[in-house]
Amino acid sequence: MELTRFDLDGIRQDNLRGVSGEEFSAVWLAAEARGDELVAAGSPSDFVAGVQSACRWIANGFSRSAETGLLDNVASPITGRKSVAYAELIETEALAAEAEVKNPGDIGRAAYLAGVWATFAWSWRHSGVPPVRLTEHKAS
């Protein structure tokens, strides 16, 4: 997914704790670029997909509906809510991610859940390190 300046400018600082919008943007750009690289190489990463999903939702990203072609809110990464992210929902989603990581019902989702949790731990709990390695990527 290619991010635009519009995507990055829409990130609300209220949706982040302990990281700046610039830091979050850099991680989101790196996650999208890494995910695209891995998919192109034929070896997608569930962990990176989890990071991408969490970043897209925290940033109040949009996706195009397959049925209507219209833009819609991105679903939250754990509970699947199609609602704008705000502090209380981010906290709820972070708690759900933490619980799922500790006791994944579906072991096949473990890497995805770890990516989501790593993103919340870094951007919301202000613990840990960025969930992906940062490289130079720019928005179009």
DSSP assignment of 70-83 equals -EEEPPPTTT---S
Nearest to 53 by CA among 80, 26, 87, 71: 80
**pLDDT given for residue 72 in this prediction:** 80
Tens digits of residue pLDDT in 26-68: 999 999 999 999 999 999 999 999 999 999 999 987 777 778 8
Q: Residues 75, 96, 55, 40: is their CA dihedral positive or negative?
A: negative
Where residue 61 falls (left for φ over 0; alpha for ψ -120 to 50; beta otherwise) is beta
Contact criterion met (CB below 8 Å) for 17 and 127:
no
**pLDDT given for residue 103 in this prediction:** 84
Q: State phi, psi for 101 to the nearest 5 degrees.
A: -65, -40
Contact criterion met (CB below 8 Å) for 131 and 51:
yes
**What tokens does 91 get?**
């906290």
Tens digits of residue pLDDT in 8-29: 877 899 999 989 999 999 999 9
Tens digits of residue pLDDT in 62-114: 777 778 877 788 899 999 998 889 999 999 999 999 999 988 777 888 999 99
Q: Count the Cβ atoms, other than its own, within 10 Å of residue 85.
A: 23
